Amino acid sequence: MPDKPHDARGVAVPSGRLARLARFGGLAGGVAGNVAVDAARRFAAGERPSMADLLLTPANAMRVTRQLADLRGAAMKIGQLLSMDAGEVLPPELTEILARLRADARRMPASQLQKVLTERWGQGWRDRFAVFEPEPMAAASIGQVHRAMTRDGRDLAVKIQYPGVRRSIDSDVGNVATLLRLSGLLPPTLDVAPMLAEAKRQLHEEADYAREGRHLARFGELLADAPGYVVPRLHADLTTADVLAMSFVEGEPVERMVDAPQDERDWVATLLLELTLRELFEFRLMQTDPNFANYRYDRTTRRLALLDFGATRALSPQTTGRYRALLRAAMAGDREAVRRGAVEIGFFDASTDARHQDAALDLAEIVLAPLRAGGVYDFAEPGRTARLREGGLALAGERDFWRIPPMDTLFIQRKAAGMYLLAQRLRARVDVRALLARWL
């Protein structure tokens, strides 16, 4: 089925609990219908497909992404996390379809936008602005961003939360979890309760724009000494729990840098990797969402703009210490020390089957190769992505290996994997060992 054409008028966000539940019911029914039709066709042809084969089809992925994009809020956010964290593991066709959730959120129609801002800022809110662009610059899972100019001359980017997002988080997470359980794609022995509880907690935090504003201001202070970065300035007088006002910063999406000259691609990747290390070892405060849309690059000033701090997470000294030990072992090429570090961090435990431990360590050796490289490391090395996908798919197929690591580990790995993937996409060349040496 072809995707819906873009609606220039926007698509209203369903904010009521029953309206959202009905969408989930329709989604489940539509997927079930696709499965039934496909199963009948394939059985008639003499095939014996598994349930996973029937569920993981482009048609079902298209249906899921379209519905989650219309729902927005926590439902869409979870879809984005799946598409980002799947990285190089899902088949390319499904990854491409899911990736639309990172870029193709549907905006609110003008009438709903007017209603939301009147509720947040009061009836006379337009009098405060010389210009307020009605078309959003960007639309994402829990909000959309508009450019505006205040009457006192401030050039702003204003992020506005979709209505009903905060109220729908718990039910949306529960509904997505139910869909995953009913699909049979998760092994029954896997305890997803801690991850679901953490997902709810983080999504509630991300939906609190006043909290994000505080982290925006904090990172502005932490990076004040770093000329390679620019953090928008918070405008507290226009910021509420549902609206975040910050200074507009110039730049183009980092994904567009794939065709830039090699030195620019190298510089952008260096800035991203260095920031991740500072967050982990110096700040102990990490923006854990690696969505590429969170970063823009200004070629004129050679500065990287950091745009989103909703998923900011404080890290304990114990966590950073364990990562320091693991990375030292990786730099030394000490496989047994890496194994002990992986157990300490929680990637697997000492009782995990030795075969699964070795498979995980083989993958880790591919990922940690930049640390052992002397001098500049070429992230575009041919064959690495294929090896990662092949090894990841093989390990993912071992359901008795599946486990959920501690939440700090889960979010650090999410950020690190995203930066690694972006460096690969940029085909960057970076002296990673030199970047890391100052922290070890």
Q: Given the structure tokens 């990797």, which residue do they identify?
A: 273
User: DSSP state, 278?
Assistant: I
* Alpha-carbon span 64 to 81, nearest angstrom: 14
Q: How far is CA 53 from CA 45, 96, 141, in A?
A: 15, 18, 28
Beta-strand runs (E) in 165-242: 229-230
- The torsion defined by the Cα of 313, 317, 323 and 327, in degrees rounded to 10, comes to 130
Partners of residue 295 on adjacent β-strands: 306
Quickly list DSSP for 113-166: HHHHHHHHH-TTGGGGEEEE-SS-SEE-SSEEEEEEEETT--EEEEEEEPTTHH
Partners of residue 143 on adjacent β-strands: 161
Do residues 243 and 158 lie in contact, with contact meaning Cβ atoms separated by under 8 Å? yes
Nearest to 291 by CA among 101, 70, 94, 54: 101
Do residues 338 and 364 lie in contact, with contact meaning Cβ atoms separated by under 8 Å? yes
Do residues 330 and 363 lie in contact, with contact meaning Cβ atoms separated by under 8 Å? no
Report which residue type is found at 64.
Answer: V
Cβ within 8 Å of residue 88, ≥6 positions away = 385, 388, 389, 392, 421
Do residues 313 and 286 lie in contact, with contact meaning Cβ atoms separated by under 8 Å? yes
Residues forming the active site = 289
Nearest to 293 by CA among 159, 163, 189: 159
Cβ within 8 Å of residue 286, ≥6 positions away = 276, 279, 280, 312, 313, 315, 411, 412, 415
Do residues 264 and 257 lie in contact, with contact meaning Cβ atoms separated by under 8 Å? yes
